[in-house]
Amino acid sequence: MKKLRKEDYTVGWICALPNPEWKASRLLLDETHEVVRLGLAARQQYVYGSMNGHNVVMGCLPATQLGTASAAAVASEMGSTFPCLRLGLMVGVGGGVPSETKDVRLGDVVVSQPDTTAQHGGVIQYDVGKALQGGIFQHTGQLNQPPEILLSALGKVQATPRRESRFDAYLNSDSFEDEPDFADQPRADRLCESEHAIPRPPRKREGPAVHYGTIGSGNQVMKDAATRDRISKEIHGVLCFEMEAAGLMNRFPCLVVRGICDYCDSHKHKAWHGNLSRRRQQRHGRRSC
């Protein structure tokens, strides 16, 4: 097992939840490294390793301390502790926003991408703004966009044919099959209760799709379909809602990567949090209810 210096790590990877997010992320490492001695001043715990030739340090928000403020604290310490970080990633689960224009389904992946028309960096903090007369809420504030090196990498990923990508190799890794948390078969993928089910045709290709666009971030759990759709429409088509990214963008500019585990509606549950195993991803493409 390698032992590197803190200056050797160039990729910072942050998760919100110890399980399944941090646990699943650790399984993606090609190799793990020995723990780096950081001194008594360090308050956060990290995991070290390499992925596709990059030295990666992974951190996680403290247990039970979710939200933008906690994310900002973890990102601030990571950035000051590891001075040579060039890339930042926020990776975990999120709530999808299905629409007529974007066929977002459980198990899909949403990646933040700047919108030049709407003039934002890919993440919008939807719960910060002004309450105006007539019940109108005006969103205010501006979050930084990812650095140029990440935007260049994002373009390369989008231009890479699926057969040349390592996406499926990581997705189908045997590491997940050995973990009980990622092996249970979840319930069917439903947009609403059974009496109001919205039929969707099977996809041409099995497995998850990757969507690029706007991610809505705030300090509240989104669990109402009407609110979800209203906010998504107001801020230029949000594809996913989560609770941490807005705390990172101005301190730890990064790309946000979220696996869709629910639809931000009244029957939101955690059955899909561990939806990372090969068997379930293969079956997912055949679910259309």
- Asked if the structure places residue 123 within a domain, the reply is yes
Question: What confidence score (pLDDT) does residue 85 get?
Answer: 96
- Asked if the structure places residue 173 within a domain, the reply is yes
DSSP, collapsed to helix, strand or coil, labels residue 47 as strand
Are 51 and 29 a contacting pair, CB within 8 Å? Answer: yes
- Asked if the structure places residue 1 within a domain, the reply is no
β-pairing verdict for 46-51 and 31-32 = antiparallel
- DSSP letter (8 states) at residue 195: G
- Asked if the structure places residue 85 within a domain, the reply is yes
CATH number, domain of 192, equals: 3.40.50.1580
Lookup: tokens for 94: 């999120």
Note down the domain range covering 208.
6-284
Separation between Cα atoms, residue 18 and residue 108, nearest integer Å: 21
- Asked if the structure places residue 289 within a domain, the reply is no
Closest CA to 12 of 203, 220, 254, 257: 254
Lookup: tokens for 89: 């990633």
User: How many other CB atoms are there within 10 angstroms of residue 287's CB atom?
Assistant: 18
Q: Which residues, 6+ apart, have CB-to-CB distance to 95 below 8 Å?
A: 222, 228, 240, 241, 242, 260, 261, 262, 263, 264, 268
- Asked if the structure places residue 112 within a domain, the reply is yes
- Asked if the structure places residue 175 within a domain, the reply is yes
Structural domain tally of the chain?
Answer: 1
Q: Is the pLDDT of residue 56 over 80?
A: yes
Residues 8-51 have pLDDT tens digits of 999 999 999 998 899 999 999 999 999 999 988 889 999 999 99
When mean pLDDT is compared across 3-12, 36-45, 50-59, 143-152, the lowest value belongs to 36-45
Are 221 and 269 a contacting pair, CB within 8 Å? Answer: no
